[in-house]
Structure 1
Amino acid sequence: MGKGGEGEAVSPGSRIFHAPGFEYYVIAVIGVKTRIDPQVVKQGLINTLLNHPRFSSILVKEGRKWRWNPTTVNLEDHVIVAETEPHLDFPEADRFLEDYVSNVTKTPLDISKPLWEIHLLINLRTSESEAVCVLRIHHSLGDGASLMSLLLAASRKTSDPLALPTVPVLSKTTTTSDHRRLSGGCSLWRFLSALWGIVPLLWNTLVDLVMFALTVLFLRDSDTPLKGAPAGAELHTMRFVHRHLCLDDVKFVKTAMKMTINDVLLGVTQAGLTRYLNRTYGAAEEYGKQRSNHSHKLSKLRLRATIMFNVRPNAGIQELADMMREKSKARWGWGNRLGLVIVPLPIISQDDDPLQYVGQAKAMIDRKKHSLESFCTFYCAKLVLNLLGIKVASAIIRRVFSNTTMAFSNVVGPMEEISCFGHPLAYIAPSTYGHPHLQALTIHFQSYYNKMTLSIAADPTVISDVHLLCDDFQLSLKLIRDAADKNLVPHAV
């Protein structure tokens, strides 16, 4: 039942997530250290999430106009207390959780209600938690960074129940610094220095946009055991698996190699995929009794990842907490303002130095920081949507997903243990599904306290051994960490 009044217009990015061929969702598995009390969770939602206008509105389409109209939320429609067997052993419980999450994704959310739901698996004791909460939110409600900020705004430090979580502050990119130097410089030298920095920025942007256009038109990644099947792949149910990596190891490599955590994670991804492909192609050659050099073949593969970049600043956690507590109507441009970036992931021989992976990743990320690709793709998508309509805009994005191999993201989480409505969290493992997964692989990294959680969403008809792929990532991080440790030895002598 509606509350009355005309709602907020739906942003272009959110509209695309409802286009034909798209039903894009965020799904997050959250481990809890104690038993879950459903009534406490429901009361907590009433005091926080339901005060956010996007989570208490329904999507209304009137011709070409799309709006979020306020409505009355019936919590019983959105909080599902799942029936589970209370005495499952750990391996069976973990498998049950994977099956449950996959089954949840088979049914779309009811568009006549706010597009979110929470599943409470109160009796499911896994190897990592005493109970599990599964969040499913339509991506049109907000992007990953915004939704993470919202979760943290509804949480508190476990050590201090009145304090909001602490999240690392991301440094400004070089691109932003270049713009500020150009606009604020008063001397000729400063002006020329800034202008010299703008030249590679414009060149990189031009090259990236040309490659983006070629990808839309015809440039397709190589067919590999990671590449999605052509027709009918959208109908396959994804498999969701997560694995915890040691955050201290990631930070050690970051410090030793003087790079960012994102550089390290992209390098680990490149190394993990290399190990997986080497093993897969090696087994195929052994089965076929072929003795050719598959490492040489792998070096010629084209393998790329799509990454969605947030092109606007998020509201602070304190602001979001105040908004939900005071029922403010402020929105701070809430929604999806995402630019699409294509990142090559070259495959390197396994016999080479493991540090080459993170070195290449850092070089690629540094170059992308000196490009306006994400801003240009965002505003171009908005222009196409307004001029040519949602079908054309979604077809273009579909081509990008179809012609690349995987999606990648990394979301920063809290630096200490947190509790949500009095329930301490053991881990947070987010993922996405519903985009045209001719991409058979989606990889997400989520930091939380002393853990870095790797979440893999995979099409099981393409990647049947997802747990082995997780093993490859785990081993790759260990090898990179050991190599970084050895690399420090000459400096310590």
Structure 2
Amino acid sequence: MASAAADYSDEPLTPAGRLFVQPQMNQIIHCAVGFKNPINIDSIKSHLKSSLLLSHPRFSSLMVRDSQGLEHWRKIPQVDLDLDRHVIVVPNPIITASHFDHDTAVNDYLADLSTSSGLSAEKPMWEVHLLMAHNCAIFRIHHALGDGVSLMSLFLASCRGAEDEEKMPTLASGKRNRVNGEKGWWALLIGFVGMLWFSLIFVVEFVLRCLWVCDRKTEISGGDGVELWPRKLATARFRLQDMKLVKKAVPNATINDVLFGVISSGLSRYLDHRTTNALPEGLQITGIAMVNLREQPGLQELSDLMKSNSGSSWGNKFGMLLLPIYYHKRSGTDPLAYLKIAKVMIDRKKRSLEAYFSYKIGYFVMTYLGAKLAAWLNYRIVCNTSFTISNILGPQEEIILGGNPITYLRVNSSSLPHALTMHMISYAERADMQILVAKDIIPDPAFLAKCFEEALLDMKEAAAAINRT
């Protein structure tokens, strides 16, 4: 990282931002944007120059360290921003055995980026890689600049609707169902007691996970040092209409409930295929999920995110949840049982303060006990669990960027000690989940993706049968 003495114009990194520049937790977000038409390099550069991205101070600031080693953002004049250092053109097809398959070629490139040396602090910490042969742009943005909600809002503010180029993209509402819709003091008392009880249980579990409690080793387990292992990447594709049909089969279920049911069912299928020694029925496999903690649910308006004093302010504002799934043998299991179990578990998590606790304790440790301890605790909780999952709401309709229609949006990040990380984003009634794996542990991510896709289709058939009766 660059080193310099902070001056009056420098702005300190937030505690969460400081966490993401520590060597153990150094994270870069990769957003792959597929285009319908060939990429025009000059058009992309021109669009970047006039976009909100470059008007945001984080994207024209260097990360520097002062004499005490504390990180700061140092603004540089926009005229000094050299786009040629940020826009990287890859003119030829990516060298791979399957380079005629555009999706596979792009995923191979992203897998290599996930274990690369990262972004240089000698320039603002973002890049755009243009894969010319595959009509794909890959935005590489350091996590210290912002979380998924912030960055998605900024990206979509630079896009327009495909059918009406004067119209901003519309986003799903992200409304959260009430777990208990009853009113009255008795219902409020029960809800308050439930919140305290579940918060106590989950917070204690969270602390124990940071220290020593660990998942049993399975065929998908990672661990200390696995973040350095080579990666493979595959894409699981879902229709949002299918997920909506499934959620209607279970009262008050959400898309997130369906997603977690699909993951539970898909991993059980995969472990049935890969495991040589029988796993115990009901074995817990614990995942980590990131939860947006801004006051408004879902994606925020960019104008709110840009206000430093706003409750929806820009940056990294998310908590962490431990989300357990349970292995079940595939034979004789009702496909919707995975959804029902997931819904009960997630409803309890929503009633607790686990996500807020994880954010506040992380803020406290980073601020008062130091970045090294905070990074160590976060690293330990990743080592002691089995996978990472995130889900971001995207635009409901097709959109264009710089006059070029977008065919897909996909997101993943640089590698973690987990051997399995999954990031899903919705776009125009579709949802793509990027499955990043340590290839020496999970050599067949395309098969794992198929397990997830088939799990949703089985749930859809079961839901359709219920609707017919």
Give me the whole-angstrom Cα distance separating, in 2, the residues matched to 1:373 and 1:350. Answer: 31
The partner residue of 2:362 within 374, 381, 384 is 381
Q: Which residue of 1 is the match for residue 118 of structure 2?
A: 108
Aligned CA RMSD, in angstroms, stands at: 2.5
Greater shift, 151-160 or 248-257, is seen at 248-257
What is the CA distance between 1:154 and its match in structure 2?
0.8
Q: Counterpart of 1:453 in 2: which secondary structure?
A: strand
- Distance change (3 Å), C-alpha of 1:418 and 1:317: farther
In 2, distance between residues paired with 1:45 and 1:255?
42
**Counterpart position of 1:127:** none
CA contact (8 A) 2:220 2:420 kept: yes
Which of 378, 381, 394 matches 1:413?
394
TM-score, with normalisation over the residues of structure 2?
Answer: 0.90
Deviation of the 1:172 alpha carbon: 4.4
Provide the rounded CA distance (Å) in 2 between the counterparts of 1:117 and 1:330.
28
Larger gyration radius, structure 1 or structure 2: 1
Distance (whole Å) between structure 2 residues aligned to residue 87 and residue 157 of structure 1: 34
Amino acid at match of 1:440: A
Q: Is structure 2 residue 108 aligned with structure 1 residue 99? A: yes
Pair 1:120 & 2:114 matched: no
Distance 1:445 1:462 in 2: 22
Distance in 2, Cα, partners of 1:411 & 1:329: 22
Give the number of the structure whose residues are more often helix, by fraction.
1
Number of aligned residue pairs: give it: 453
How do residues 268-417 of structure 1 correspond to structure 2 at under 5 angstroms? 268-281=262-275, 284=276, 294=278, 297-313=279-295, 316-317=300-301, 319=303, 333-351=313-331, 352-417=333-398
Q: Secondary structure at the match of 1:256?
A: coil
Helix, strand or coil at the partner of 1:427: strand
Aligned residue identity for 2:366: L
Q: Distance in 2 between matches of 1:298 and 1:43?
A: 58
Shift of 1:21: 1.2
Equivalent residues of 1:174, 1:369 under 8 A apart: no
1:70 to 2:75 alignment: yes
Cross-structure match for 1:43: 46
Deviation string, structure 1 residues 60-113 (Cα, Å, up to 9, x no partner): 211253221111321111111112139998744444323322233312110121
Q: How does 1:106-255 map to 2 (within 5 A)?
A: 106-124=116-134, 131-172=135-176, 174=178, 190-228=184-222, 230-255=223-248
- TM-score normalised per structure 1: 0.86
Structure 1 residues 245 and 431, CA gap change in structure 2 (3 angstroms): same
Choose from 12, 21, 24 the match for 1:21. 24
Q: Which residue of 2 aligns with 1:79?
A: 87
Amino acid at match of 1:244: R
Q: CA 1:15/1:108 → structure 2, altered by over 3 Å: closer, same or farther?
A: same
Structure 1: give runs of 5+ residues left out of the alignment.
125-130, 182-188, 286-293
Structure 2 contact 285–326 (Cα < 8 Å) conserved: yes
Q: Percent identity?
A: 32
Shift of 1:13: 0.7
How far does residue 338 in structure 1 lie from its aligned partner after superposition? Answer: 1.9
Report the residue type matching 1:264 in the other structure: V
Cα 1:486/1:107, change in 2 over 3 Å: same
Residue by residue, what CA displacement relative to the aligned partner does 1:148-189 show, whole Å, maximum 9, x if unpaired?
A: 1111111100001011000011224648x99xx9xxxxxxx9
Partners of 2:302 and 2:320 in 1: CA distance: 29
